[in-house]
Structure 1
Amino acid sequence: MSTPAEFYNSLPPITKAYGTACLLTTIVCQLGIVHPLYIALIYEDVFSHFQVWRLITNFFFLGKFSINFGIRLLMIARYGVQLEKGPFERRTADFLWMMIFGSLSLLALSAIPIFRSGFLGISLVFMLLYIWSREFPDGQINIYGLVRLKAFYLPWAMLALDVIFGSPLLPDLLGIIAGHLYYFLTVLHPLATGKNFLKTPRFMYPLIGSLSISLICYIDINWCKGGD
């Protein structure tokens, strides 16, 4: 059985970086080092006070430590990793582009008043879940040992559970919308027409190598020390 350190080091780079960023953000907010409102997506502050970091930092906050936070982090560790090691294996640039496109889509949706949300991290995680469910539609999922269903229906089952437990419905819906938009543009539409309008930009490929190294070096202390 692998140790936590071995498991962490085995994670693919993009999922590893995003999951670590979410965990660290929650820690600094939980300790009171940074107030969540300072990293929330508030468009008035973005445009009036040039606080452009809010366009990025809001994706790293999944809420304070709770069962729901743990579930979201486990979703990243399971579904994000399976995507990056499965359909996106040796396609790190494509996986990062998927994350970027999803983030941009969620930012655009959040600009609509009825979809306004201060934090889009849960929505981005739910987007990963939705795309995973489309890539592994026939997988069997057991929910709390009570219900067994195909992976294709998992996003809707998770959404229903959030409603039952009183969690906000909007983050899940935004994630489903962003995930379906990506899947439609990269899979369904090309299959129907033979044209892909959402190809990964060429500049992503030379960028991904240096970016992955920088992210891993920053978040993996053992790697930075040369594996000591």
Structure 2
Amino acid sequence: MSTPGEYYNSLPPVSKAYGTLCLLTTTAFHLGLLDVSFIALYYPWVFYRFQVWRLFTNFFFLGKFSINFGIRLLMIARYGVQLERSAFDKRTADYLWMMIFGALSLLVLSAIPLLQSNFLGISLVFMLLYLWSRELPTAQINIYGLVTLKAFYLPWAMLALDVIFGSPIMPDLMGIIAGHLYYFLTVLYPLSTGRNILKTPVWVHRLVARWQVGGPQVNSPAQPGNSSSSGTFRGRSYRLNR
């Protein structure tokens, strides 16, 4: 059995980095080292006070230490990690671009008055859950030892549980919307048209290559024109030809 340190070191780079930042942010908050109002998304201060860091930092706060926080962190450790190791195996740049695209989509959604939110971390985690459910739609999932269902329905089951336990529904819905938008642009649209309009930008490939993370990559950053599937989420049972 591996030690916690060995398990942590074995995690794929993007999921590990994001989960670590979320854990450190909440820890800093509880230690009194961080005022979360300093990292919250508040557009007037972004545009009129030029506090642009809020566009990034709001994604790292999943709430106070609680059962819900633990569940969100476990969702990253399980579903985010499995997604990075399966659909995005040896495609760290594509996985990072998927996270960036999801974050940008959520920032746009949060500008809609009905969907406004100061922290979009939970929505980003739900996006990962949604895409994982599309990658492994027939996997059997047991929820708290009470209900067994196919992974395809897991995002909706988790949303229903949040409603039952009184958690806000909008963050979950926003994550599902962002996840489906990515799935549509990388799977459904290419299947119907033969074109992929959401390729991973070259600068993301170069960033991953510069960091030297994720091991050997399938898509070469030096040959962006050859990566016709670059940025494509494959989707179990809906895989595109590579």
The structure 1 segments of at least 4 consecutive aligned residues displaced by more than 3 Å after TM superposition are: none
1:1-228 equivalence runs, <5 A: 1-211=1-211
What SS does the aligned partner of 1:117 have? coil
What fraction of aligned residue pairs are identical, expressed as a percent? 74
What SS does the aligned partner of 1:203 have? helix
Report the TM-score when normalising by structure 1.
0.92
AA matched with 1:60: F
Q: Deviations over 1:30-56 (max 9, x none)?
A: 111111111100001101111100000
Distance in 1 (alpha carbons) for counterparts of 2:50 and 2:26: 24
Query: Which structure 2 residue ranges, 5 or more long, are not aligned?
Result: 214-242
AA matched with 1:190: P
AA matched with 1:56: F
Distance in 1 (alpha carbons) for counterparts of 2:6 and 2:37: 35
Aligned residues: 213
Shift of 1:190: 0.4
Distance in 2 (alpha carbons) for counterparts of 1:211 and 1:187: 28
Shift of 1:207: 1.4
RMSD across aligned positions (CA): 0.8
Distance in 2 (alpha carbons) for counterparts of 1:14 and 1:211: 11
Distance in 1 (alpha carbons) for counterparts of 2:134 and 2:12: 20
Distance in 2 (alpha carbons) for counterparts of 1:172 and 1:211: 32
Shift of 1:209: 2.3
Bigger helix fraction: 1
